Amino acid sequence: MGIVVGVPEIWAAIAGDEFYWPTISTTIGHLQERWPVFALLPVAAIAFGGYSVFRVRTIGDTVVQADKQALGRTPQGRLVKQEVSVDELRVGGVPATAQVLLPRTVACYFALATAIVVAGCIVASRSDNRFLVGYVLYSLIAIFWIVTPNAMAYWFKRDFPYTNLFFTVSALGRRLQLVAGLVAALLVILLLHLAFYPWPAQPG
C-alpha cells in the first residue's frame, strides 16, 4: 500500500507543477478551492480511522452497535460483522473470523487493479487536465486498495493478507512506542495540511 501511494505521490512532488498528475494534497487543495466543504472529508476519514482502532482495539474484542450488530476486528485489522451470543459477549467477545485470501488470488486482484488504474489514467490524460488525471488516479487507488479490502472483510468475511494503516500503527505502538508516536504525529500534521491546505506553506 505504501508503494502504491508513495510512488505516484513522490514522483509528482519531484516532477513539479508541470507533471502529468498533481500530488494528493494538491489535488485535495484544488477540490477545496471549488468546494470548501471538501476540506472536512480528509479530516473525517483520518479521525474515523483512528477512532475505529480505539473503539475495537485488539483481536477478540467485540463491540455492539445501537442496531444490535456486533463488530470484531480481523488479525489484519479490518472490521467484520459478527454473530455472537450473550455468553460470548460477557467474556469480551470472540475473535472475528474471516477467510484470508490466497496470495495468488491477491496477486491477480492487484494486477487487475493496477491495469485498471493505469488504463484510467491514460484515458484521463487525453484531456490535458492534470487534475482530472489526479482525480482518476487517487480515486481508483482508494477504491481498489482501501475501500474494497475493507468492504470485503466487513460484509463478505474475506480478508486481504496485510494490515491496514491504523492497525499497523496500533501494533507498532506495542513494540516501538516512540516510532508509533512519530507516525501518529505525522498523521496529525497530514490532517492539518489537508484541512488548511497549503499550510504550512503560505498561499502564493
pLDDT tens digits for range 139-183: 999 999 989 999 999 999 999 998 877 777 777 777 777 877 787
- The pLDDT value given to residue 57: 59
In the chain, % of residues over pLDDT 70: 92
Residue 168 lies in a domain: yes
Residue 63 lies in a domain: no
Residue 203 lies in a domain: no
pLDDT digits (tens, 9 = 90+) for 21-65: 999 889 888 888 888 888 788 888 878 777 766 665 555 677 777
Torsion over CA: 126, 32, 147, 15 (sign): positive
- The pLDDT value given to residue 109: 95
Q: Whole-model pTM?
A: 0.79
Residue 85 lies in a domain: no
**Mean pLDDT throughout 78-87?**
81
Query: pLDDT-based confidence at 84, cuts 50/70/90?
Result: confident
Reply yes or no on whether the pLDDT at 204 is more than 60. Answer: no
In the chain, how many domains are there?
1
**Mean pLDDT throughout 103-121?**
94
- The pLDDT value given to residue 54: 67
Alpha carbon distance, N-terminus to C-terminus of the chain: 33
Work out whether strand 158-159 and strand 99-100 pair parallel, antiparallel, or are unpaired: parallel
Residue 83 lies in a domain: no
Extract the C-alpha cell encoding 199. 499550510
Residue 15 lies in a domain: yes
* Residue 119, domain extent: 2-57+99-195
Residues in the chain: 204
- The pLDDT value given to residue 110: 92
- The pLDDT value given to residue 124: 93
How many CA atoms lie within 13 Å of 66's alpha carbon, on the beta-carbon side? 0
> Longest Cα pair distance anywhere in the chain, in angstroms?
61
Cβ atoms of 53 and 142 within 8 Å: the answer is no
Residue 77 lies in a domain: no
Q: Residue 134's CB: how many other CB atoms inside 10 A?
A: 25
**Mean pLDDT throughout 118-127?**
93
Residue 184 lies in a domain: yes
Phi, psi torsion values for 72, nearest 5 degrees: -130, 180
Residue bearing the bigger pLDDT, 66 or 39 = 39
